[in-house]
Amino acid sequence: MALDEFESIHHWTAGRQEDEWQRRRGIVAGIGDDAAVVDLAAAADGVAEPKRLLLAVDTMVETVHFKQSTMRDEDVGYKALAANISDIAAMGGVPLHALVSVSVPPAYTPERMRRLYDGLYECAERYGVAIAGGDTTSSPEHLVVAVTVTGTVEAGRELRRSGAKPGDAVFVTGAVGMSAAGLHALLAEEARGAVMASADAGHQELAAVVKAHQRPNPSVRAGRLLLERGSCHSLNDVSDGLASEAWEIAEASGLRLMLHEKRLPRSGSMSTYASSAGVDPLEWMLYGGEDYVLLGTMASEDAEAMQLAFQQEGIPFFIIGETEAGEPDVQLIRYNQASKGSGLLSSNEKRINLKKRGYNHFL
């Protein structure tokens, strides 16, 4: 590679996280040897013994997941880690460490890479994740960032996709479609030849959806709350879109999920932006992805108590449907517009089978 690997990594990582801060995450030896050395028992992660280790990897590829018109370099770094932390959140775990593989094309100057690491460390600090190691290679043309995260979880209490039971309530821990709306806004700006729409500038609604796309927040606290209360049956994070994630629970648990269109949480800023753009936001909400809220199921009799627990922590919690026995399937229940207020909902509802497909960024 053009840069000296060791000097580069040193420039991007040195002094970012203090030794003592890393030690509290169990790091005995971090960046600078063949492998990081971790003492999990020494991690002050709040997870009760015996605990288990969680491992996940996620990759962001330039032109596939982002391009310069949609994400600043610091956003790429932030989001690459955030997407991974979300996988730990979706198990009910506490994220602890990350290893960062970057393949750097010539267009990414050391200064740009420094900004990418600025974003990465910003996310790491917010979620208490120690950067424990990495690998830097050159790349012929496109940036590739692959992040591996570890986490911990109480043994036997990890929240899987496969635990849903017939008659469960289906819930989601935040609005969906925000990120897709943000991407739509960014691509529209690009098509108009404008400078990148920024989360800091422009209309408030635009700023909110753009921020949701560029700086998503994984739902670690929500995942812990679900695990701690003990009543959650199945859990997934909305990385590939609500329909796709619901399908994963349906297939892993062997049942049907029914989602009610009118109960899907939509944010005001997304709705406002959708109106101004003349777009029906349902597509974003079902297939948009990258919202990193949690989707799961629990016995319906426990749902109200959970809603209260979330309310007390200031985290959204919406019951959006229910499960029933049957072949794996995901259905959306819509109501005829004409029947509004007639009170005869059941005769006017229409079930639509949702497709498994996930998120295609630029197709």
Q: Is the dihedral of CA 355, 270, 321, 290 positive or negative?
A: positive
Please, which residue, 226 or 270, has the CB nearer to its own copies?
226
Q: Is 36 in the site for its own copies (CB under 8 A)?
A: yes
Please, which residue, 100 or 185, has the CB nearer to its own copies?
100
Q: Is 33 in the site for its own copies (CB under 8 A)?
A: yes
Cα–Cα distance between 64 and 160 in angstroms, integer? 28
The least distance separating its own copies from the CB of residue 284, rounded to whole angstroms, comes to: 20
Please, which residue, 214 or 236, has the CB nearer to its own copies?
236
Cα–Cα distance between 86 and 275 in angstroms, integer? 30
Q: Is 134 in the site for its own copies (CB under 8 A)?
A: yes
Q: With beta carbons less than 8 A apart as the criterion, state whether 310 and 317 touch.
A: yes
Please, which residue, 153 or 285, has the CB nearer to its own copies?
153
- Kindly indicate which of the ranges 119-127, 128-136, 208-216, 280-288 contains the residues binding its own copies, using the contact rule CB under 8 A: 128-136
CA angle 44, 54, 47 (to 5 degrees): 30
* Per-residue mark of binding to its own copies, 43-72 (x: CB under 8 A): -------x-xxxxxxxxxxxxxx-------
Which residues, numbered 340-359, are part of the site for its own copies (CB under 8 A)? 356, 358
Which residues, numbered 191-220, are part of the site for its own copies (CB under 8 A)? none
Cα–Cα distance between 76 and 102 in angstroms, integer? 11
Q: Is 233 in the site for its own copies (CB under 8 A)?
A: no
Please, which residue, 28 or 194, has the CB nearer to its own copies?
28
CA angle 162, 165, 170 (to 5 degrees): 90
Q: With beta carbons less than 8 A apart as the criterion, state whether 290 and 179 touch.
A: yes
SS3 137: strand
- Kindly indicate which of the ranges 138-146, 186-194, 271-279, 304-312 contains the residues binding its own copies, using the contact rule CB under 8 A: 138-146
* Per-residue mark of binding to its own copies, 251-270 (x: CB under 8 A): -x------------------
Cα–Cα distance between 114 and 135 in angstroms, integer? 15
Phi, psi of 277 (to 5 degrees): -90, -5
Please, which residue, 54 or 330, has the CB nearer to its own copies?
54
The least distance separating its own copies from the CB of residue 87, rounded to whole angstroms, comes to: 4
The least distance separating its own copies from the CB of residue 175, rounded to whole angstroms, comes to: 20
Which tokens hold the place of 187? 């691509």
Please, which residue, 208 or 255, has the CB nearer to its own copies?
255
Cα–Cα distance between 194 and 174 in angstroms, integer? 31
Cα–Cα distance between 309 and 303 in angstroms, integer? 10
Report the Cα 49 to chain-centroid distance in Å.
Answer: 27
Q: Is 290 in the site for its own copies (CB under 8 A)?
A: no
Q: Is 333 in the site for its own copies (CB under 8 A)?
A: no
CA angle 92, 97, 99 (to 5 degrees): 125
Interface with its own copies (CB under 8 A), residue total: 69
Q: Is 103 in the site for its own copies (CB under 8 A)?
A: yes
Please, which residue, 80 or 199, has the CB nearer to its own copies?
80
- Work out which of 68, 69, 101, 272 binds its own copies, going by CB under 8 A: 101
- Work out which of 73, 74, 75, 158 binds its own copies, going by CB under 8 A: 158
Closest CA to 223 of 319, 304, 293, 135: 293
Q: With beta carbons less than 8 A apart as the criterion, state whether 4 and 10 touch.
A: no
Q: Is the dihedral of CA 23, 76, 183, 189 positive or negative?
A: positive
The least distance separating its own copies from the CB of residue 210, rounded to whole angstroms, comes to: 23
Nearby residues of 336 by Cβ (< 8 Å), 6 or more positions away: 348, 349, 350
Q: Which residues bind its own copies (CB under 8 A)?
A: 1, 4-5, 26, 28-29, 32-41, 50, 52-65, 86-88, 90-91, 93, 97, 99-101, 103, 132-135, 137-142, 144, 146, 148-151, 153, 155, 158, 160-162, 236-237, 252, 356, 358
